[in-house]
């Protein structure tokens, strides 16, 4: 009975993997959208000379963070599922 239970768990994980990935990506994109909006408002309130450049650098860092988080989560899931 135990081996069948193990197979069912593995099958359930494989079926749920795309859903878990999309949920993780959606959560990350929502968080980044909120942070981007806050940063944009701060830049509008501080129209000094270097504000635009700092905003561009921040966007680049945020996109790199999202890519790295996505890559790490997919690698972790692949290792976890075998």
Residue 32 near residue 66 (C-beta atoms within 8 A): yes
pLDDT tens column, 2-55: 445 566 677 777 777 776 677 666 777 788 888 888 877 776 766 665 656 666
Q: Could you write out the DSSP letters of every residue in 28-78?
A: HHHHHHHHHHHHHHHHHH---TTHHHHHHHHHHHHHHHHHHHHHHHHHHHH
* Total number of domains constituting the chain: 1
Q: Can you tell me the distance from the alpha carbon of 61 to that of 57, in angstroms, rounded to the nearest whole number?
A: 6
CA dist 53 and 67 (Å) reads: 21
Domain that holds residue 38: 2-81
Reported confidence tier of residue 1, pLDDT bands at 50, 70, 90 = very low
pTM score, two decimals?
A: 0.33
pLDDT at 72 (0 to 100): 83
* pLDDT at position 2: 43
The residue with tokens 């494989």 is: 14
């Amino acid at each position: 009975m135990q081996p069948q239970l193990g197979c069912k768990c593995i099958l359930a994980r494989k079926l749920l993997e795309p859903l878990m990935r999309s949920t993780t990506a959606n959560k990350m994109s929502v968080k980044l959208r909120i942070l981007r909006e806050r940063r944009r408002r701060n830049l509008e309130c501080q129209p000094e000379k270097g504000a635009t450049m700092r905003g561009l650098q921040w966007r680049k860092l945020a996109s790199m963070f999202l890519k790295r988080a996505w890559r790490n989560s997919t690698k972790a899931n692949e290792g976890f599922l075998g």
